[in-house]
Amino acid sequence: MAGTKSPEDAYTAAPFVPHHADLGTLREAAAGCHGCPLHREATRTVFGAGDADARVVLVGEEPGDQEDRQGKPFVGPAGKVLDRALDEAGIDPDESYLTNAVKHFKFTHVPERGKRRIHKPPSLRELSACGPWLEAELELIEPEVIVALGATAGRALLGPSFRVTKQRGTRLEGDASGPAHGGLIVPTIHPSAVLRADDREAAYEGLVADLRVAAELLG
Ligand code: URA
């Protein structure tokens, strides 16, 4: 019925995000986040990890199967690609902070694949519900550069009109009132796109080239 609010309209992590907290306190609070239904099926919240004084923050989409099991971002196959590409682009992982736009793993089961959990991308509502966590992380860390890994991270940081194919490898400015607080953003493809590409080598080289744009901004 027109004008009737669906329960999804109420999705937001905002009431779970403590004010004036450090990263450790944010992480603890995020473990109990029920801001959207994704917490019901996921094993745990996968909060960001890395240096609280990081010069660069890398934002992915959502944790995958391995991340959900281990509780850390980018510890699975996409993370291995990312580690190698960061190294090749000259970005020190010890000066980086890794996080995701959405902090819970979303998945489905398909009968022919048995017990395997198959990744599903977050909806726009789940993405915006989780936004307050990303915003709080970026507000505390104040990185010099934010790397958006893929379309979902780009949308979280730059809005729904973001197009990774058009804007990757460029230096963009986040909106002052958005989650990036006016910071510099360099978008690129998601590292898992390298693993899915027909020409993996070309896709990987493209990822490294985009990361070099971020590395140059770091100086
Ligand atoms: N893909 C993501 O976007 N994030 C992770 O942490 C792992 C895979």
Over residues 68-117, the pLDDT tens digits come to 999 999 999 999 999 999 999 999 988 999 999 999 999 999 888 888 99
The token pair at 6 is 């669906």
CA nearest to 140, candidates 60, 10, 30, 12 = 30
pLDDT value for 92? 93
pLDDT value for 1? 42
Which residue among 190, 196, 207 is best mutated to probe the pocket of ligand 1, counting the most ligand atoms within 8 A of its Cβ? 190
Is 50's C-beta closer than 6 angstroms to any atom of ligand 1? no
- Is the whole model's pTM more than 0.85, yes or no? yes
Domain ranges of the chain: 13-218
Beta bridge partners of 98: 49, 58
Centre of ligand 1 to C-alpha 161, Å, is: 22
Which residue among 47, 57, 62, 120 is best mutated to probe the pocket of ligand 1, counting the most ligand atoms within 8 A of its Cβ? 62
Beta bridge partners of 205: none
Beta bridge partners of 146: 57, 185
Measured CA to CA, the distance from residue 89 to residue 11 in angstroms comes to: 38
Tell me the fold of 13-218: Uracil-DNA Glycosylase, subunit E (3.40.470)
pLDDT band at 8 (very low <50, low <70, confident <90, very high): low
Centre of ligand 1 to C-alpha 105, Å, is: 9
Which residue among 65, 69, 72, 74 is best mutated to probe the pocket of ligand 1, counting the most ligand atoms within 8 A of its Cβ? 74
Coil, strand or helix at 100 = strand
Measured CA to CA, the distance from residue 45 to residue 106 in angstroms comes to: 11
Centre of ligand 1 to C-alpha 212, Å, is: 20
pLDDT band at 6 (very low <50, low <70, confident <90, very high): low
b/e burial code for range 44-65 (CB count within 10 A of at least 16 → b): bbbbbbbbeebbbbbbbbbbbb
Coil, strand or helix at 179 = coil
Over residues 173-197, the pLDDT tens digits come to 999 999 999 999 999 999 999 999 9
Is 47's C-beta closer than 6 angstroms to any atom of ligand 1? no
Is 48's C-beta closer than 6 angstroms to any atom of ligand 1? no
Measured CA to CA, the distance from residue 170 to residue 120 in angstroms comes to: 28
CA distances to 1, 4, 197 from 75, rounded to whole Å, are 44, 42, 20
Over residues 142-183, the pLDDT tens digits come to 999 999 999 999 999 999 999 999 999 999 999 999 999 999
